[in-house]
Amino acid sequence: MRIRVIGAALIAVTTLWASTAHATQYTVDPAHTSVTFQVRHLFTKVSGRFDRFTGTIDFDPAQPAQAKVSGSIEAASINTNNEKRDADLRSDRFFDVAKYPTITFTSTGVSQVDAAQQVGKMDGLLTIHGVQKPVVLEVSYLGAGKDPWGNQRAGFSGHTAINRKDFGLSWNETLETGGVLVGDEITIDLQIEATPPK
């Protein structure tokens, strides 16, 4: 009986190792990656982006459910193409970048994988303004191949929506019409190009 238990344990360990042994750890290429967001301002939506970030993606196209992602964004690199507004967003009324310099994401699992379409849902922990909350990203694997200079690359995308108040970003201003200046929902879009180790 003991031999059977030990044998089963060895098989389980071997299977786990085999499922992750072929994963490649990609490094996000900032020059070909965008981290953008949208939030309502009055009646329309304002778009912005973060210009400085790092990240890694452990991924095997044959085992997409085993994917792992880790990323970090410099909060001070927020850019909405308006210097005055960006300075306000960096202040303690919003991101308070002096106190909370980074925004981070760490994946915790992948589910609902559609192997044919190479899409799924990625659970993870998002930390903004010192507050950590679970989020779910709709993710896609866009393919891999060599660029014209012979460098191997892979493409990924992800998007989600969060409530900024959940992360302590609660400042707002009431309008004469009874509404508020800034919406609560922020949509986030990631277009990622990454490279494997050389």
| pTM for the model | 0.83
Give residue 130's domain range: 22-195
Q: CATH number, domain at 101? A: 2.40.128.110
3-state SS, 42-64, equals CCEEEEEEECCEEEEEEECCCCH
Taking the C-alpha atoms of residue 43 and residue 40, their distance in angstroms, rounded to an integer, is 7
161-174 pLDDT, tens per residue? 999 899 988 765 55
Taking the C-alpha atoms of residue 136 and residue 108, their distance in angstroms, rounded to an integer, is 10
73-118 pLDDT, tens per residue? 999 999 999 999 899 899 998 899 999 999 999 999 999 999 888 9
pLDDT over 80 (residue 157):
yes
**Overall number of domains in the chain:** 1
Provide the CA 69 distance to its chain's centre, in angstroms: 8
Residue 1 lies in a domain: no
Taking the C-alpha atoms of residue 123 and residue 189, their distance in angstroms, rounded to an integer, is 15
21-61 pLDDT, tens per residue? 578 999 999 999 999 999 887 677 888 999 999 999 999 99
Residue 3 lies in a domain: no
